[in-house]
Structure 1
Amino acid sequence: MELPIAIVDAFTDRPFGGNPAAVCLLESEIDSKLMQSIATEMNLSETAFVLPKENPGHFHLRWFTPTLEIDLCGHATLASSYWMLKKGWTKEGEKIHFHTLSGELIVTVGKELIQMDFPLLSTEEDRHPFFKEELFGTKIVRAARLKRNWIFELESEEAVKNLIPDFMAIAKHSEEGFIVTAAGKEFDSVSRFFGPNVGVPEDPVTGFAHCALMDYWNQRNGKSKLKAYQASKRGGSLEVEKMGNRVLLKGKAIGVMEGLISI
């Protein structure tokens, strides 16, 4: 058996930027163990599997890291939506209804940007039990916790970019990982995400993290719209907007590889 698979760079308009995700558009259901094996083989932060439901415009969507299935992923959703448009599974301007472990996610593929309607992830200001004042030698301005992750606000954009993470320490002192952030010069939010416990030491651009960062910065300065940049080696930008208990994530994508995987 052969399955079509593609690699799409999300949150960028240039090849080899943003965050790469593998996308597998399925004509019929496959076993979860096989999905995990494919994701392990692809060895990207996420591999997405899309399967049509009976209702037109509605699809099952699942995301796997190289080690486990996760319940929310922004960049792989964006990558899937882009690739579905390229392969004729949807049309420009139509709404895609994804049914996921995080509920129904609605995506609109526009002419310039792909817009994703995601849940707002609530954050609560708190003090980390181990990293109280400093994170790897860098001063912590504020900290907040969210489900399975922590946010650390640092003093500056430079502090975020120059931070040298200790992945073993992050793994030991978190359930999934750490988000570090600061207000930027050109961007409202500059961030990085480290997730060693989900098989992703540093993620290039992280959609779910911005669902939490939107809540964090909204509490911090009252802003309901963010121009955001994730300062990984590849780098990537997106627009984020708070809509009640939902978040609109807007970004671009580009395909870089297409092929078949033999099972």
Structure 2
Amino acid sequence: MELPLVTVDAFTDQPFSGNPAGICLLPGSLSPEWMQRIASEVNLSETAFLETIDEQNYRIRWFTPEKEVDLCGHATLASAFLLYTAELVDKDKEIVFSSKSGPLKASWQQGDFAIVLDFPLIGTEDALHPYFSEMFFGQQVVGAARLKRNWILELESPRAVEYVTPVWSELTHHSEEGIIVTAASYGDYDVVSRYFAPNLGIPEDPVTGFAHCALVDYWHRKTGKEHFTAFQASSRGGVLGLSRIDNRVLLKGNAVKMFEGFFTLEM
């Protein structure tokens, strides 16, 4: 069996930046075991597997190199970008992805960001981290919140976010999935962040859609704002437009196609 594989850099308009995602367009059903093997071989932070339901409707599943996850923003944005630019769907219509997190909608627009994703808001609750309550690897923690299997730690400045250098064994021991560090930013961006998820096989994720579904809630509760421009300050870097609408988040971004080939499977 041959499976087409495409890689797309998401949340960027420049190649070799943003967050690369693998995308497999499935000709039919494929077992989760094979999806995990492929994702481990691709070895990107996420590989998305798409199965056609009908015109403009697809099933989507996301796998890190080590496990399946319930929600992934950058691989969904990459998938929508590929479907639109390959003219597999109509740019004037929404794509609906059926996922473990419910229906997720994507649309094509003109403007600063080509793709808009309609995702669920991830609620956050202010709390003290049981281990990183005051310091996070040399940087002062000035606020914190928890969400499902992850934490947000607010640091005192964007520079503190950029300077963090985790000790991976310590971070792995004191986190479930991962930790988002963030700060109020300046200049062109309202929010800056990074995301560390060694327990998912991703020491640092370059640009993280799901994390921003929680950061929108965190910063809305602190500032009252509902619209943000966000920068994820990984070594690759990425830019997102964010809007909070009731219990939903609009994630906005660009993408660049980087690679196209085939997996040959002996099944």
In the superposition, the TM-score normalised over structure 1's length comes to: 0.98
- The SS at the match of 1:241 is strand
- The SS at the match of 2:210 is helix
**For the Cα contact (< 8 Å) 1:15–1:256, is it kept in 2?**
yes
> Percent of aligned pairs with the same residue?
52
Match of 1:222 in 2: 224
Q: Which amino acid in 2 is paired with 1:42?
A: V
Show structure 2 runs of 5+ residues with no match: none
Using the alignment, how far apart are the partners of 1:80 and 1:239 within structure 2?
18
Question: Pairwise mapping of residues 68-217 of structure 1 onto structure 2 (< 5 A)?
Answer: 68-112=67-111, 113-186=114-187, 187-217=189-219
Using the alignment, how far apart are the partners of 2:14 and 2:175 within structure 1?
33
Match of 1:35 in 2: 35
Match of 1:6 in 2: 6
**For the Cα contact (< 8 Å) 1:18–1:234, is it kept in 2?**
yes
Using the alignment, how far apart are the partners of 2:261 and 2:11 within structure 1?
22
Report the CA distance between 1:133 and its aligned residue: 0.8
- The SS at the match of 1:75 is helix
Q: Which amino acid in 2 is paired with 1:183?
A: A
Using the alignment, how far apart are the partners of 1:138 and 1:58 within structure 2?
45
Using the alignment, how far apart are the partners of 2:71 and 2:170 within structure 1?
24
Q: Which of 133-142 and 163-172 deviates more?
A: 163-172
- The SS at the match of 1:44 is coil
**For the Cα contact (< 8 Å) 2:56–2:90, is it kept in 1?**
no
Report the CA distance between 1:145 and its aligned residue: 0.4
Using the alignment, how far apart are the partners of 1:85 and 1:26 within structure 2?
17
- The SS at the match of 2:65 is coil
Question: Pairwise mapping of residues 248-259 of structure 1 onto structure 2 (< 5 A)?
Answer: 248-259=250-261
Report the CA distance between 1:110 and its aligned residue: 2.2
Cα-to-partner distance string for 1:113-168 (whole Å, 9 max, x where unaligned): 20000000000110011111111111101011000000000010000001111222
Runs of 4+ aligned structure 1 residues displaced above 6 Å come to none
Match of 2:64 in 1: 65
Using the alignment, how far apart are the partners of 2:254 and 2:76 within structure 1?
12
**For the Cα contact (< 8 Å) 1:92–1:111, is it kept in 2?**
no
Q: Which of 107-116 and 28-37 deviates more?
A: 107-116
Report the CA distance between 1:57 and its aligned residue: 1.5
Cα-to-partner distance string for 1:80-132 (whole Å, 9 max, x where unaligned): 00111122221213100000000000110224420000000000110011111
Q: Which amino acid in 1 is paired with 2:193?
A: S
**For the Cα contact (< 8 Å) 2:8–2:258, is it kept in 1?**
yes
Using the alignment, how far apart are the partners of 1:87 and 1:39 within structure 2?
22
Using the alignment, how far apart are the partners of 1:128 and 1:47 within structure 2?
30
Using the alignment, how far apart are the partners of 2:86 and 2:41 within structure 1?
23
Q: Which of 106-115 and 20-29 deviates more?
A: 106-115
Q: How many residues align?
A: 262
**For the Cα contact (< 8 Å) 1:229–1:237, is it kept in 2?**
yes
Using the alignment, how far apart are the partners of 1:259 and 1:86 within structure 2?
17
In the superposition, the TM-score normalised over structure 2's length comes to: 0.96
Q: Which amino acid in 1 is paired with 2:247?
A: N
Cα-to-partner distance string for 1:216-249 (whole Å, 9 max, x where unaligned): 0000111101100000000000100000000000
Report the CA distance between 1:27 and its aligned residue: 1.9
Report the CA distance between 1:51 and its aligned residue: 0.5
Using the alignment, how far apart are the partners of 1:175 and 1:65 within structure 2?
15
Using the alignment, how far apart are the partners of 2:196 and 2:220 within structure 1?
22
